[in-house]
Structure 1
Amino acid sequence: MKKINHVLNFLSQKSIIAFFFLVCCAILLHQPFEDLASKILVQPLFSKIEKRTINDVVFGLIALASLLMLRKHKQYVASGPLATSSALAVALYLCYRLFSERWSFTHYSVASNLAYADTFLAYPAVYMGLWFRSRYNRRTLTLGSVHLATDEPIRTADSDALGYQDYAATVATYINKSSFNHSFAIGVNGAWGSGKTSFINLIKERIDSDDTILIDFSSWNSTTPNAVVTDFFDTVQEAIAPYYSSLAQLLRSYSEKLISINDSDITKSIKSTITLVAGESSIKELYKQINKALSKINKRIVIFIDDLDRSDKSEILEVIRLIRNNADFYNTFFVVAYDRNYVLEALSQQNIHNHTKFLEKIFQLEINLPYYKAERLLLHLESQLAKLFPNHYDSVIKPAIKSDSYRSNTAAIHHLENIREVTRFSNSLSLNLSKLLNEVDIVDFMNIEIIRMKYPVIYELLFKKSHIFLSTKDTYVQYSKARYKLATEEKTGKYLIENYIIDNPNLSINKNDITQIIKLLSDIFTDSYINSYSSSVLSIAFPSNFRKYSTYALLEDNLSEVAFSRARASEQHVFNQSIEEWCAKGLSWEIRQRFLDIHQFDDREDFEKIITTIFNFANTPYPEHLSQVFGTLNGYDKDDLRNKISDHENRISNKYYSKDKVAYQEFIRNLFLSAKHPFRFESDFIESINSYFSDGFPLATEESHSIALGYFNQHCNVSESLTRDTWELYHNCKYKSWSRHGSTIHEEGRKTIEGSRSIFIEFIKTKVYTDFIRDITNKEHRSMDEKYTVSDIVTDIFGSWNDFKPLVHNNKDLNSFTSLFSDFYDKFVENNYKPIAYDFQGHKDS
Structure 2
Amino acid sequence: MLLLFQPVITKKFLRKFIIGFFSKEALILIISCLLFFYFNQQITTFIGKYLVTSLTSNNIYLTVLTIVIVVFLISFQLIKITDRYKPAFEYWFILLAIIGMHFYYRVYLVNVPWSYLRISELKYLNCAYLDIIYASLLIFPIVYFTIWFKNLFRTSSELSVKNINIEDNPIENTDDDKIGYDDLVKRITGNVLHDIYNKSFTIGIVGPWGNGKSSLIKLVQNKIKENKPKNIVEINFYPFLNHNDEDIITEFFKSLSSKLEKYDGSLSKQLFGYADKLIQLYKKGDIKYFLDKHISLNSNTPAYNLYEEINSILKKINKKIIVYIDDLDRLNEKEIIQVLKLIRNTANFNNTVFIVAMDKKYVVDALKNSKDFQNERFVDKFFQLEVYLPEIKKSILLDLFEKLIFDSNEIEPKVKEKIKIALTRKETLFRYYISNIRDVKKLANQLIFENTFINDEINYTDFINFIFLKTHYPKFIQSLNTNRAKFLNHKNGFYYLNEKSPENENRTEALIKEFNRISDESSVEIDKYDIANLFKIEDNCYEKQFNLNCWDKELLLITLVELFGNQSPTNPDSIQHEYNFSKLMRLSFEKNDLRKNELDTLLSFTDFEDISKYLIAILKNNKGRQLIEQIKYIEPKTKEDLKTLTIILILCYNFIEEYQLFESDITYSLSFIIKPELYDRNSSLLKNEEWVSFIKKVYFESQKIKLYSKVRLLNLLWTNKGGNKLWGVGETYIKEIALKYFDEYLSKFNVTCWEKDDFKIFHIYNSLKDIGDIKNQINIEYIKFLKNNNLTVFCSQMLDTEAVDGNYKINNFVVGLFGSYDEFFDFVKKSHDNGNQQLNEFIEYLELMKITEFRGSLKYKFNDFPIREYPSKNYYYGFLESYKNLVQFFFEFNTVNIRKANDKLIDFTPLLTQLDLVIEIFQYDNKHFMFFFKNENNAQNEKFKIINMYASRIYNVLKSSIPNCHYKEITEENSIFIFDNDGIEIAKLKSYQV
Shorter-chain TM-score above 0.5: yes
Residues 200, 352 of structure 2: 8 Å contact kept: yes
Counterpart position of 2:535? 498
**TM-score scaled by length of structure 2:** 0.48
Deviation at 1:557?
Answer: 7.0
Counterpart position of 1:444? 462
- Please identify, of 54-63 and 85-94, the stretch whose mean Cα deviation from structure 2 is larger: 85-94
Q: Which amino acid aligns with 1:558?
A: K
Query: Cα–Cα, structure 1 residues 307 and 415, in superposed 2: closer, same or farther, change >3 Å?
Result: same
Partner SS state of residue 559, structure 1: helix
How far does the alpha carbon of each residue in 1:768-826 deviate from its partner, in whole angstroms, 9 at most, with x for none? xxxxxxxxxxxxxxxxxxxxxxxxxxxxxxxxxxxxxxxxxxxxxxxxxxxxxxxxxxx
Counterpart position of 2:575? 540
Partner SS state of residue 235, structure 2: strand
Partner SS state of residue 573, structure 2: coil
Q: Which amino acid aligns with 1:361?
A: K
Counterpart position of 1:209? 228
Partner SS state of residue 495, structure 2: coil
1:228 counterpart = 2:243: no
Residues 29, 93 of structure 2: 8 Å contact kept: no
Deviation at 1:188?
Answer: 0.8
Query: Cα–Cα, structure 1 residues 497 and 141, in superposed 2: closer, same or farther, change >3 Å?
Result: farther
Query: Cα–Cα, structure 1 residues 224 and 4, in superposed 2: closer, same or farther, change >3 Å?
Result: farther
Residues 86, 124 of structure 1: 8 Å contact kept: no
Partner SS state of residue 215, structure 1: strand
Residues 105-144 of structure 1 correspond to what in structure 2 (within 5 A)?
Answer: 106-110=116-120, 121=134, 125-137=138-150
Q: Which amino acid aligns with 1:190?
A: G
Partner SS state of residue 572, structure 2: coil
Residues 391-790 of structure 1 correspond to what in structure 2 (within 5 A)?
Answer: 391-393=413-415, 395-403=417-425, 405=426, 407-408=427-428, 411-472=429-490, 482-486=494-498, 492=507, 493-495=530-532, 498=535, 502-503=541-542, 505-526=544-565, 528-529=566-567, 532-533=568-569, 536-549=571-584, 550-551=587-588, 556=594, 558-559=596-597, 583-584=604-605, 625-626=640-641
Counterpart position of 1:381? 401
Residues 400, 442 of structure 1: 8 Å contact kept: yes
Partner SS state of residue 140, structure 2: helix
Deviation at 1:155?
Answer: 1.8
Counterpart position of 1:324? 344
Query: Cα–Cα, structure 1 residues 525 and 128, in superposed 2: closer, same or farther, change >3 Å?
Result: same
How far does the alpha carbon of each residue in 1:289-316 deviate from its partner, in whole angstroms, 9 at most, with x for none? 5313431xxx543222211222444443
Q: Which amino acid aligns with 2:93?
A: S
Query: Cα–Cα, structure 1 residues 309 and 625, in superposed 2: closer, same or farther, change >3 Å?
Result: same
Deviation at 1:514?
Answer: 1.1
Residues 192, 339 of structure 1: 8 Å contact kept: yes
Work out which of the residue numbers 160, 173, 190 in structure 2 matches 1:156: 173
Query: Cα–Cα, structure 1 residues 253 and 91, in superposed 2: closer, same or farther, change >3 Å?
Result: farther
Q: Which amino acid aligns with 2:310?
A: Y
Partner SS state of residue 27, structure 1: helix
1:308 counterpart = 2:328: yes
Counterpart-to-counterpart distance in 2, 1:104 and 1:254: 59
Q: Which amino acid aligns with 2:397?
A: L
**TM-score scaled by length of structure 1:** 0.56
Where structure 1 has 5 or more consecutive residues not aligned to the other structure, the ranges are: 270-274, 564-578, 587-621, 630-846
Query: Cα–Cα, structure 1 residues 254 and 123, in superposed 2: closer, same or farther, change >3 Å?
Result: farther
Counterpart position of 2:723? none
- Please identify, of 421-430 and 490-499, the stretch whose mean Cα deviation from structure 2 is larger: 490-499
Residues 453, 593 of structure 2: 8 Å contact kept: no
Work out which of the residue numbers 71, 74, 77 in structure 1 matches 2:78: 71
Counterpart-to-counterpart distance in 2, 1:438 and 1:512: 32
Residues 444, 540 of structure 1: 8 Å contact kept: yes
How far does the alpha carbon of each residue in 1:23-58 deviate from its partner, in whole angstroms, 9 at most, with x for none? 32553487789979988x986666588865312321
How far does the alpha carbon of each residue in 1:249-299 deviate from its partner, in whole angstroms, 9 at most, with x for none? 523541243135414642689xxxxx997743662464045313431xxx5
Counterpart-to-counterpart distance in 2, 1:519 and 1:488: 16
- Please identify, of 71-80 and 131-140, the stretch whose mean Cα deviation from structure 2 is larger: 131-140
Work out which of the residue numbers 206, 219, 241 in structure 2 matches 1:189: 206
Residues 396, 438 of structure 1: 8 Å contact kept: no
Residues 78, 130 of structure 1: 8 Å contact kept: no
Counterpart-to-counterpart distance in 1, 2:333 and 2:148: 43
Residues 486, 522 of structure 1: 8 Å contact kept: no
Counterpart-to-counterpart distance in 2, 1:557 and 1:115: 69
Query: Cα–Cα, structure 1 residues 625 and 216, in superposed 2: closer, same or farther, change >3 Å?
Result: same
Counterpart position of 2:392? 372
- Please identify, of 443-452 and 306-315, the stretch whose mean Cα deviation from structure 2 is larger: 306-315
Counterpart-to-counterpart distance in 2, 1:114 and 1:291: 66
Partner SS state of residue 187, structure 1: strand
Where structure 2 has 5 or more consecutive residues not aligned to the other structure, the ranges are: 1-9, 287-297, 508-529, 608-636, 645-994
Deviation at 1:341?
Answer: 2.9
How far does the alpha carbon of each residue in 1:681-725 deviate from its partner, in whole angstroms, 9 at most, with x for none? xxxxxxxxxxxxxxxxxxxxxxxxxxxxxxxxxxxxxxxxxxxxx
How far does the alpha carbon of each residue in 1:94-141 deviate from its partner, in whole angstroms, 9 at most, with x for none? 475245667746534546755555566457533323433453446958
Using CA pairs below 8 Å that are at least 6 residues apart, which structure has the higher relative contact order? 1
Counterpart position of 2:97? 89
Counterpart position of 1:617? none
Counterpart-to-counterpart distance in 2, 1:143 and 1:4: 26
Aligned residues: 550
Counterpart-to-counterpart distance in 1, 2:450 and 2:371: 46
Partner SS state of residue 387, structure 2: strand
How far does the alpha carbon of each residue in 1:653-707 deviate from its partner, in whole angstroms, 9 at most, with x for none? xxxxxxxxxxxxxxxxxxxxxxxxxxxxxxxxxxxxxxxxxxxxxxxxxxxxxxx
Counterpart-to-counterpart distance in 2, 1:180 and 1:6: 40
Residues 153, 198 of structure 1: 8 Å contact kept: yes
Identity of aligned residues (%): 21
Residues 156, 202 of structure 1: 8 Å contact kept: yes
Deviation at 1:17?
Answer: 2.2
Residues 606, 643 of structure 2: 8 Å contact kept: no
Counterpart-to-counterpart distance in 2, 1:261 and 1:551: 55
Counterpart-to-counterpart distance in 2, 1:547 and 1:520: 18
Residues 441, 536 of structure 1: 8 Å contact kept: no
Residues 52, 114 of structure 2: 8 Å contact kept: no
Deviation at 1:430?
Answer: 1.1
Counterpart position of 2:239? 219
